[in-house]
Amino acid sequence: MRRPRTVLIVDDQEINSDALEVILGNDYDVITADNGVRALELMRSHINEISIVMLDLMMPVMNGYEVLKTIREEEELRNLPVIVMTSYKEAEVDALRLGASDFITKPFDLHEVILARVGRIIELNEGRRLISSAEKDELTGLYIKNFFFEYADRIFRYHPELKMDTLVLNIEQFHSVNALHGREFGDAVLRAMCSFIREFLRETEGIASRFDADRFSIYCTHRDDHRAILERFQAKMYEFSPKVRIHLRMGVDERTEDVEPVLLFDRARTACIMVRGDYQNPLMIYNEEILKKELFDQRLLSDLRNALADGQFQVYYQPKYDIRCEPPRLRSAEALVRWDHPELGIISPGTFIPLFEGNGLITLVDNYVWEETAKQVAQWRNKFSLTLPVSVNLSRADVFDPDLTDRLCRLIKDNGLDYCDIKLEVTESAYSQDADRLLALIHTLRKIGFEIEMDDFGAGYSSLNMLSSMPIDVLKMDMSFVRNIENSETDLRLMKLILDIAGYLKLSVVAEGVETEGQLKLLRDADCDLVQGYYFSRLVPAKEFEKLIVKERERSVG
């Protein structure tokens, strides 16, 4: 029996890995790693199984360039073919020089090309590799993937009368368990999980397999109590490890149609991915809504580049008013993006921004917003003889752009602006991820002359711990602290505390989400500097924003 080919996908962005699993999953076995260190571990431990590596270049812990160098230096890994994945075409030459076999660009819109390239490279490389197989996984004694699917297919074909369930179980943050408690303890956890599954299978007809390091698949006769099944496994895991809490999650697809097991397990795997990190509700049953969301997300990813080229994205502006004077004065603005899709209509930023952030493609949107904003600031200066600074978002993915500093400086120079005319907003949560890299970048940008604003301050969990070391100029107080200050003494005190801390650190504060005169008065009494929100104006396009500028000029003249 021929063993399926295995593809190792290495990417720290789950949306990229998930997209490639959709593209390659029907033809290949897929395993994943979220950083270079974990990828090298999988290569060394699965060297006779992996047929090809799909490698992202920009990752934390160890980036793709370092992985390529390591592969080239280790004799055992040297013949392993690697396809580099990047949204930066200029990275192609460097990757090929380091030994990459090929490259593909993001987003993954040409599925046939990806399949063709993967297939061609595997076929060229297979003559030099010997792929061994055995029926059972050595550590757990469960079926390995290829035999598991062979037996599942037989059940599907020869027993159509049986209603079967596909269950996918994952151990949350298993890599952290290994890192904190050692590989020996991690192996013991896997063996324990295997014994629980065997006990379950003695009560129902079915088979099981271990996929990857910590993913278990079960094909069994239908049960109505899926939550009880998961709770049973979880309780036994707590009994096994009372001191080190091991958390499980489960995805399920109930066979309600004539669908082959491979597709059912893809669906269960998707459902399991969707509850990653959800400790309150770690069970998901696959349904049509999940399928629709997957297809919708893929549509947005595929349409992104055309949308940017066709001008479907529009930059809107929300004013920031200085409330230290009476009446408040227009001082600056924040630029935000909206997507008017020709077929799907207005797409909420809450839908496409997290999707593109997870994929890393948010950099394309950010660059578009920066360029449009810089042009607009220059136009307003020429038209109204004033410079109105505008804040733009700097996403976590932008931090990995090696040309970011040059790109921003070029925008300033090309539009004849000063560095303080474009302010850079970084969300608080970004400081808790890749902190060293981000802090170094922020220091560089501030030294050049850019002003840095921390967006959504107070929405994270590490603000007070990190604030004293963060190189920033402005705090943007999250709207959650403003919303109830008229009705909640606790919220009012928290708002004042934030302003006191900012004052001690000599930082300006912008309060977000101001909607009422009462909120405005309380913020002014507490010595807040600037505010933005619907009390003054909603987000508006550039032409409508000009009315606010004209009104401000008329008031100044008067």
CATH architecture of 6-126: 3-Layer(aba) Sandwich (3.40)
362: which residues sit within 8 A by CB, 6+ positions away? 353, 356, 395, 397, 398
CATH architecture of 145-286: 2-Layer Sandwich (3.30)
Alpha-carbon span 33 to 12, nearest angstrom: 7
Give domain limits for the chain: 6-126, 145-286, 295-546
Q: In Å, what is the CA distance from 120 to each residue of 128, 152, 470?
A: 14, 29, 49
Residue type at 503 in one-letter notation: G
Per the CB < 8 A criterion, the answer to whether 486 and 506 are in contact is: no
pLDDT mean over 421-431: 82
Residues in the chain: 558
Nearest CA-CA partner of 269 in 213, 211, 191: 211
Beta strand 329-341 pairing with 345-347: antiparallel
Q: Where are the beta strands (DSSP E) in 326-451?
A: 329-341, 345-347, 390-393, 422-427
Cis peptide leading into residue 107 (ω within 30°):
yes
280: which residues sit within 8 A by CB, 6+ positions away? none
CATH number assigned to the domain covering 295-546: 3.20.20.450
Q: In Å, what is the CA distance from 265 to each residue of 120, 229, 278, 291?
A: 26, 17, 20, 14
Report the pLDDT value the prediction gives residue 1, as an integer from 0 to 100. Answer: 36
In the predicted structure, residue 2 carries a pLDDT above the cut 50: no
Q: What is the mean pLDDT of the chain?
A: 87
Q: What is the pLDDT of residues 76-85, one digit of tens each?
A: 888 889 999 8
Report the pLDDT value the prediction gives residue 451, as an integer from 0 to 100. Answer: 95
Helix axes 288-309, 14-24, angle to 10 degrees: 110
In the predicted structure, residue 90 carries a pLDDT above the cut 80: no
522 pLDDT band, cuts 50/70/90, is: very high
pLDDT mean over 496-524: 93
Per the CB < 8 A criterion, the answer to whether 51 and 125 are in contact is: yes
Q: What percent of the chain has pLDDT over 70?
A: 93
Alpha-carbon span 217 to 207, nearest angstrom: 8
Residue type at 78 in one-letter notation: R
132 pLDDT band, cuts 50/70/90, is: very low
Question: Which pTM value belongs to this model?
Answer: 0.60
Per the CB < 8 A criterion, the answer to whether 397 and 429 are in contact is: no
Alpha-carbon span 340 to 120, nearest angstrom: 39
Alpha-carbon span 241 to 185, nearest angstrom: 10
Report the pLDDT value the prediction gives residue 175, as an integer from 0 to 100. Answer: 80
- Between 468 and 62, the more confident residue is 62
Nearest CA-CA partner of 9 in 88, 90, 84, 111: 84
Q: What is the pLDDT of residues 205-238, one digit of tens each?
A: 899 999 877 899 999 999 888 999 999 999 999 9
Across 347-372, b (16+ Cβ under 10 Å) vs e yields bebeebbebbbbbbbbbbbbbbbbbb
| Residue carrying the six token digits 């005190």 | 493
Q: In Å, what is the CA distance from 78 to each residue of 52, 68, 82, 195?
A: 12, 9, 10, 37
